[in-house]
Amino acid sequence: MDPRRLRDLLERLQRGETSVEQALALLRRLPYADLEMAKVDHHRPLRQGAPEVIFGEGKTSQQIAAIATELLGAGQNVLVTRLDEGKAAALAPALPGLCYVATARLGRLESSPPVRRPCAPVAVVAAGTSDIPVAEEAAETLGALGLEASRLYDVGVAGIHRLLAHAEELQGASAAIVVAGMEGALPSVVGGIVGCPVVAVPTSVGYGTALGGLTALFAMLTSCAPGVCVVNIDNGFGAAMCVHRMLPAAARQVQP
């Protein structure tokens, strides 16, 4: 509930235009309505051209189509993550404009192009070719959020010179998302080269002691480069959302 609407209500009560009973009934719902309002500030940047997100895993294509159609009707852009090829194909008739990105396993459907944020690109760095699907999930989500992604793939630590050849590019990024499986060492190295925020994403790539991504996760959390933060295994979407939270904060500050 909007503070102005609350003031209106009280003034109407004062003026005798509403009864105490009616006011009480409205106020009963106040606590959480008020809270909802409190969240507007948070949701505003998202709603300015930003997509509503549907987690596709565990939903049928019918369910996804229904939710997406409703969102589109409200003028929202839509992002569907963890969307496999089969479901994407099944969605096509119901969502004709859906753009499916197979590598990233997601679909985008945009009523209006996302508003481009006024900041340097976000570096999306992947250690190996098997980490690319997770990196692409991050990069495509960034795109849907109005952030430019600068991809830098196959630069794992066993061939450290390949990464170092891009040091300058990395140092110009507004943030870095670093995706790695196996021993998960890449974020430590990147964190030592750049001063911008570094979000590490462990992947489930590897076998044996890779332990489905737990080894990379633990390695990233004990990183010897200070100030590196970590999201869940294979969670490219979460890393992009994490960067999204950082950059509005910056944007707010530039305004006088």
Closest residue by Cα to residue 225 from 197, 202, 203: 197
220 binds its own copies (CB under 8 A): yes
Among 5, 43, 47, 116, interactor with its own copies by CB under 8 A: 43
Choice between 20 and 96, CB closer to its own copies: 20
Among 69, 102, 103, 192, interactor with its own copies by CB under 8 A: 192
Q: Name residue 194's beta-bridge partners.
A: none
Longest dimension (CA), the chain: 77
Contacts for 87 with CB less than 8 Å, ≥ 6 apart: 56, 60, 61, 64
**Between residue 86 and residue 105, which ones bind its own copies under the rule CB under 8 A?**
none
74 binds its own copies (CB under 8 A): no
199 binds its own copies (CB under 8 A): yes
Give the count of beta carbons closer than 10 Å to the beta carbon of residue 198: 28
User: How far is the C-alpha of 125 from the C-alpha of 197, rounded, in Å?
Assistant: 13
**Between residue 160 and residue 179, which ones bind its own copies under the rule CB under 8 A?**
160-162, 164-165, 167-168, 171, 174-175
Choice between 116 and 245, CB closer to its own copies: 245
254 binds its own copies (CB under 8 A): yes
Closest residue by Cα to residue 132 from 102, 100, 159, 104: 104
User: How far is the C-alpha of 236 from the C-alpha of 222, rounded, in Å?
Assistant: 20
Choice between 29 and 97, CB closer to its own copies: 29
Per-residue mark of binding to its own copies, 127-146 (x: CB under 8 A)? xx-x----------------
